[in-house]
Amino acid sequence: TVVTIYDLIPLRFPALVSARARLLFRLTTWLALRRARQVIAISEATRQDVMATFGVAADRITAVSLAADPRFEPQPKSEKVRVRQKFGLPERYALYFGINKPHKNLVRLVNGLPAGVPLVIAGAWDVRYEAGLKTAVSQISHKPIRLLGPIDNDDLPALLSGATLFVFPSLCEGFGLPVLEAMACGTPVACSNLSSLPEVGGEAAAYFDPTDEAAMGEEIGRLWGDETRREQMVTAGLAQAARFSWQTAAEQTLNIYREIC
């Protein structure tokens, strides 16, 4: 048996799930790891989490990185204009794309957002966690913030490509695909310095402490006003995204199966 572990977020953030769900998650994960000849983790950060939490030996678990889908690439101006018009967005905007669960840290992002930076929050919407975010947005009436909710797959590459800056303040990620997808679309990225995000963003992203609203806001503000640095980050981000591929992931996965056979 080979088992792939995406993340241990239900154990890292117990408030997200019930006590029963946490117990089942821990038990089933432990059983799966106990039976597996080899384990795959989707990032080195997840690999370290699994070893520390469940005592898996280092030679039994391998990190195999994910990659952005090929449809994530810089989009033509016509597509970016189409998406801006569709959603009524300004010509310049900062973008967060992802779900709205508490560990994504969106309330701190809203609180720390510099005045004058339009923020668009888009992605899958879980109604269980909407109250805190909507309350934060309503209390900061002087900040231009839009909550778009779920986005059609056909619109997402242009939404990412059209953003002046992509922000991702998550406290924990199994991998962090949105960071890679934004870079592949030619968008500068400012993200959390925790969990797997530094290994995904490499030297191409700008990082901040996601627990410090002021520091987050300062970094976003600096990038928002520095066109030269953003242009440098576009080039670096495209190169960083190109380092990850599904071909490589497939080859690494196949090698693990061959070794145990």
Per-residue pLDDT tens for 170-182? 999 999 999 999 9
Rounded CA separation 143/104 (Å) = 20
Torsion of CA 98, 102, 108, 113, to 10 degrees: 20
Local confidence band at 96 (pLDDT 50, 70, 90 cut-offs): very high
pLDDT reported for residue 195 = 95
Q: What average pLDDT does the segment 236-246 reach?
A: 98
Rounded CA separation 200/62 (Å) = 16
Rounded CA separation 52/18 (Å) = 23
The residue assigned the tokens 């576009």 is 234
What size, in residues, is the chain?
261
Q: Give the range among 132-141, 147-156, 164-173, 232-241 with minimum mean pLDDT.
A: 132-141
Q: What average pLDDT does the segment 110-138 reach?
A: 89
Indicate the residue type of 136. Answer: A
Helix (H) or strand (E) holding 25: helix 19-35
Judge contact between 255 and 247, C-beta under 8 A.
Answer: no
pLDDT reported for residue 168 = 98
Query: If we measure between CA atoms, which residue out of 143, 145, 151, 42 comes closest to residue 97?
Result: 151
Rounded CA separation 133/20 (Å) = 26
Query: If we measure between CA atoms, which residue out of 216, 179, 185, 184 comes closest to residue 200?
Result: 179
Region of 116 please: left (phi>0), alpha (psi -120 to 50) or beta.
Answer: left
Give the residues across from 4 on adjacent strands: 40
Local confidence band at 131 (pLDDT 50, 70, 90 cut-offs): confident
Q: What average pLDDT does the segment 7-30 reach?
A: 92
Taking the whole predicted model, whether its pTM rises above 0.85 is answered as yes
Name residues whose C-beta falls within 8 Å of residue 135's C-beta, 6 or more positions apart in sequence. Answer: none
Query: If we measure between CA atoms, which residue out of 246, 234, 239, 86 comes closest to residue 158?
Result: 86
